[in-house]
Structure 1
């Protein structure tokens, strides 16, 4: 192994940034994460960590703890708006488990394994400068940090991306999503199941998290940036989903108003480059995707492992980041495109096209099952 003492600056302390910092730290690098918020925390939502993601957790030495903090998932069930099963996909056929976990629990699991001094909070990235083989990050507080490489893990509207390639807004995909958390468990919950319901231009799903917490998510076609008052989100959802499968309005009614989060959905057309010399992008900063395949955080975890492996194999960060791009682009492009297609299918609203979609899903069950297997069989 070559001499490893490189300082890697990471902008953004979310799941992707924290996982990358931990992977680098475990392999002898000196990562320092700069995060603009004053307190490290993730929003109140759940995620499914598919086998491609739990593979990363295993490599980071976190899998057993993640299993204790989450709930094992065995099936992904697609249903009609009224609750009729369309497709039931087993997802427990891999050598690694699928885990439903709260984002905040996963985030804490990642960052608590890193020395506290390597997380710098309350610093907003402004720009970078490059000098020979060094890079400097400049922050709005006038702080300057110097390192051997810089990784932008600062999300959908990445400032590092803008500084690298100029401002280009992400693409709104005509969908708004709501996410909620409640202690109410409907009598239709099936242990190990993620249940998703598809209607006319709308979707709803729910899954169990640890400690009896039920996480649910909803999506509907909507104009971008609709005026929103947090204290009417619940009423709005109750109206939208009032005639759906009975457990759905039941879950909404059981959720506290403050535990409902509303977010417009965006992505970008997959494109390279992500890097310039000793600076690169990771996670949503590089390849934002719609959440329809549940792969956003999973891809960020994959990125963390691959970029670390490339930095280990290639001592020069510029070369390492080129290799990282070449190894990751095809995979991430495919997922972004599949997620968009899935989202477009979910936007179908005419009764005839919705009925056709349901018929096709039943007929295509083997193909859908194979697609799940292929997606989750990837090992970074």
Structure 2
């Protein structure tokens, strides 16, 4: 009995359960659910951390929406900020670090301060670039003595900041089920039962939010922005609490 994992270096390990927590491109998932296909969101993202004069005066997190583009700023202490940017682009573009930075400076020229300063101050080789993928919620995460966790099971676009959070929640749920249930099948069934609905809500809500945030049509953007201004703070806070205020 048990399950045996074989690794690329030729080694192997045997255990009672194999947990595939190997990311959105999971090798484990491809082995047990080969039919799952990634879906491209339609936009790509750049990220970076930078220090600069005056950045210590940034004291609030913000995300600014434009037409087919967004820019987020998160102060992380001292004079450093974490930043991210998105733009509607085909997937798989191959560019040098210098080309990425030049594209960012062009796309965000004229945006409010300190967007351009943040991009300009970031070393081109320190800018991370990723196409944004997920896949729709799947009905099962487990097969026999193998189960999935985190992005391998329930990846989400980053619009709600919940990717790592959901992996942590699922880790706790799986550990608790394994400790408290009398059999492995019962533990895995409980783990999935407790986690599927919530992770599906996160994935689907984040996908829809991204589609709205990345609108390009000027008329639709105007409607979107008007609705956002009219939406009561209580509604916004309610969605944040539902996502981030969850008790596992």
Is the pair's TM-score, using the shorter chain for normalization, greater than 0.5?
A: yes
| Residue 230 of structure 1, aligned match among 89, 92, 97 | 97
Structure 1: runs of 5+ lacking an equivalent: 1-131
- Name the counterpart of 1:264: 131
Asked if 1:144 is matched to 2:12, the reply is yes
* Structure 2 SS opposite 1:225: coil
Aligned mate of 1:160, from 20, 28, 31? 28
* More deviation, 365-374/270-279: 365-374
Pairing of 1:265-284 with structure 2 (within 5 A): 265-284=132-151
C-alpha separation in 2, matches of 1:313 and 1:195: 42
| Cα distance between partner residues in 1 of 2:32 and 2:157 | 23
- Are 2:113 and 1:254 aligned? no
Alignment partner for residue 290 of structure 1, among 135, 143, 157? 157
Q: With structure 2 as the length reference, what TM-score do the two structures score?
A: 0.95
SS in structure 2 opposite 1:318? helix
Following TM superposition, by how much is the alpha carbon of 1:363 offset from its aligned partner in structure 2, in angstroms?
Answer: 1.1
**Alpha carbons of 1:321 and 1:185: their partners in 2 closer, same or farther (altered >3 Å)?**
farther
Partner deviation per Cα, 1:84-141 (whole Å, 9 max, x = no partner): xxxxxxxxxxxxxxxxxxxxxxxxxxxxxxxxxxxxxxxxxxxxxxxx3x01001122
CA contact (8 A) 2:56 2:79 kept: no
After TM superposition, give the deviation of residue 317 of structure 1 in Å. 2.0
Give the conservation status (yes or no) of the 8 Å contact 1:150–1:278: yes
Match of 1:16 in 2: none
Determine if contact 1:186/1:247 at 8 Å carries over to the other structure: no
Following the alignment from structure 2 to structure 1, what is the Cα–Cα distance between the partners of residues 17 and 53? 47
Mapping of residues 18-97 of structure 1, within 5 Å: none
Residue number among 33, 38, 47 corresponding to 1:179 in the alignment: 47
- Give the equivalent residue in structure 2 for 1:206: 73
* Structure 1: distance between partners of 2:247 and 2:110: 42
2:174 paired residue number: 307
Provide the rounded CA distance (Å) in 2 between the counterparts of 1:331 and 1:252.
36
Aligned-pair CA distance for 1:354: 1.2
2:240 alignment counterpart: 372
Cα distance in structure 2, aligned partners of 1:320 and 1:348: 42
Deviation at 1:237, TM superposition (A): 0.3
Q: Which has the higher helix share?
A: 2
Q: Secondary structure at the match of 1:209?
A: strand
- Quote the residue 1:345 is aligned against: 212
CA contact (8 A) 2:181 2:187 kept: yes
**Aligned in 2, Cα 1:316/1:185: closer, same or farther, shift over 3 Å?**
farther
